[in-house]
Amino acid sequence: MTLTFYWEPSLYSFFFTALIIFKNIALILYARSRKKTEDRLKYTNLLLVLGIIRLIYTVISFFLPGIRLSYFSPLSEYFMFYFIVILYNLPLILEVFFGVVLLLHFSNYQRDKKALVGPILFIDAIMNILIFNISSNYIYVFERFLYNETYGLYLMVHLIFRSILVVGLLFIFLYSIKLNKDFLIMFCGIFLGVELAYFFNVLNAVIIEFTIFW
Amino acid sequence: MENNERNNIYAVAFVGGILCIFSFFDFDILSFFNFNLILGLILLLFILPHIICGIIMIYSAIRIKLGQKTWNEQKVKLLISSWLAIGVSLGASIFMLIFVGYFMLFNRFGLIGGFLTLLGYYYHKHLTKSEKLSDPPLTPEKGNSDSIPL
């Protein structure tokens, strides 16, 4: 087991974090712009708070520890691994609340049932990813000698859950165009872009995995 | 009401431009150059159109935001740049299929930026068309409704 920083300074990681920070700032600016016009401030205030928490988490994530395990590392070292896994599942838990707030926010001032499809799919996918991540990490511990065997299956299931998330974000993006809100379009567009990039990355890994082993 | 009447669709082009420019930072150039100098140069050549398209998209989005141009004046430029971004990324991936050995999704961010701008453009077109159809009020049919005695 070797402990390092999760965030490694490189050209790619620097600009990718800049993109994520831009995403969170767009959410904060959207909530601030809505505060001027909207009457019901409960959910816009919640969106503002969630955006600030997300921004703080991205700044903190520079200093979080990263972990590299070998196949033959003893079981006692996995307690640290569990702790770090829970730490990295925190933004997913936060995004469940974000999805619920977005659902209530959309249901408040627009009586359009189609608008609720996006946030519902978003919450569903985030919950699935959360449960799957936690369960799969436990499976890796007990079958860590079979890691190479189960890795392709893991990637495929991960791809399916991520595709649900992408579809939900696509619905939110289209609804933000219908609402004609510029900050919301920017936030959802960048969010969707980052998620699609991750989706393509996993897809590429699946293709490589199955071309090598099958 | 003024916020709802103003056309905020320029944000789609802005996001697409940011994602297209980000494609320059998506892959490690030095590793490609270490692997093969000519291949690295070719991949760099594939990225240049994405950066140009991204700059065009952001420039047009800023001009729409400032009120110097309208969406309809800039839409052809945006359509050409987004289709070019998608085409170049897919063409580069076919190039990689031939010369590297497998279908490597080269330059994802250019593909995504072009895709999002196209999606926003066509969805906005669909929305405005449906609004225009519902704009004129429906004329009541003559005869039946008036002739019924109370």
* Tens-place pLDDT, residues A126-151: 999 999 888 887 776 666 656 666 77
- Kindly state the DSSP code that residue B67 receives in the 8-state scheme: T
Which residue in this structure is represented by tokens 């600030």? A52
Whole-angstrom distance, CA of residue B104 vs CA of residue B96: 6
Q: Does A200 touch chain B (CB under 8 A)?
A: yes
**Residue A31 and residue A21 in contact, taking contact as beta carbons nearer than 8 Å:** no
The strand pairing partners of B66, in sequence order, are: none
- pLDDT number for residue A214: 54
Alpha helices (H) along A38-72: 42-60
| φ, ψ dihedrals at B76, nearest 5° | -65, -45
| CB < 8 Å from B in window 26-45 of A | 37
The strand pairing partners of A4, in sequence order, are: A66
Whole-angstrom distance, CA of residue A190 vs CA of residue A24: 10
**Residue B15 to residue A196, Cβ atoms within 8 A:** no
Contacts of B104 in chain A (CB under 8 A): 204
pLDDT per residue as tens digits for the range A176-207:
998 888 899 999 999 999 999 999 988 888 88
Measured CA distances, A107 to A25, B86, B127 (Å): 23, 35, 20
**Residue B97 and residue B105 in contact, taking contact as beta carbons nearer than 8 Å:** no
**Residue A186 to residue B108, Cβ atoms within 8 A:** no
- pLDDT number for residue B133: 54
- pLDDT number for residue B138: 52
- pLDDT number for residue B4: 45
Type of residue found at B84: L
Residues of chain A with pLDDT under 70: 1-2, 38-40, 71, 109-110, 140-149, 212-214
- pLDDT number for residue B148: 55
- pLDDT number for residue B115: 95
- pLDDT number for residue B33: 75
Splitting chain B (150 residues) into consecutive groups of 10 residues, what average pLDDT does each group show?
Answer: 65 94 77 77 87 95 90 91 94 85 81 94 86 54 56
Which pTM value belongs to this model?
0.84
Question: In Å, how far is A26's CA from the nearest CA of chain B?
Answer: 11
**Residue A197 to residue B15, Cβ atoms within 8 A:** no
**Residue B116 to residue A16, Cβ atoms within 8 A:** no
